[in-house]
Amino acid sequence: MVSETSLGQRRHDRVRVDLYVNEVVGDQVHMARTRDLSEDGASLYRLLAPNIPEGTRLGLELRLPNSDEVIWATADVIRDVVDGGQDKDAGGREGAGQANEYLALSFAAISREDRERIRRFVASALGDAL
């Protein structure tokens, strides 16, 4: 798990986490996996979803580890990363064949309670990584 607050324009801590997510684009639901998560957004690996242009608003449904509560959010695609490289884990090691193609998302609408659940999860994950 990595804090990336010192990189780029991050305002909140972000952690690497692998969760399955339902991604809703228009009236179609696609399964995706998280690359990382913060209280402001997430990055999603593309599994079978089509290319989604920057600026697209989509819906997300996810569950944090050890929780039965579903988190609902809408998010805007702010970047579509397709560089063909290999993703690295928190230790800088190459991922297990995971192509580095993902969507960077910024939450547009999420309840205060769900944002707080994510904030607590990230804080706990970062505490565990220390």
The answer to whether residue 3 is domain-embedded is no
Residue 50 covered by a domain = yes
| Parent domain of 102 | 14-129
Q: Is 99 exposed, middle or buried (0-12, 13-18, 19+ CB in 10 A)?
A: middle
Query: Does a structural domain hold residue 2?
Result: no
* In the predicted structure, residue 2 carries a pLDDT above the cut 50: no
How many folded domains does the chain comprise? 1
Residue 8 located in a structural domain: no
Query: What CATH number does residue 116 fall under?
Result: 2.40.10.220
Q: Is the pLDDT of residue 113 over 80?
A: yes
Residues near 105 by beta carbon (within 8 Å), at least 6 away in sequence: 41, 42, 43, 44, 58, 60, 75, 76, 77, 78
- Confidence tier at 127 by pLDDT (50, 70, 90): confident
The answer to the question of residue 104 being in a domain is yes
Question: Which candidate, 33, 85, 84, places its Cα nearest to that of 60?
Answer: 33
Q: How many CB atoms lie within 10 A of CB 20?
A: 12
Residues 44-99 pLDDT 10s: 997 776 778 899 999 999 999 999 999 999 999 998 887 655 444 444 444 443 55
Longest dimension (CA), the chain: 42
CA distance 55 to 64: 26
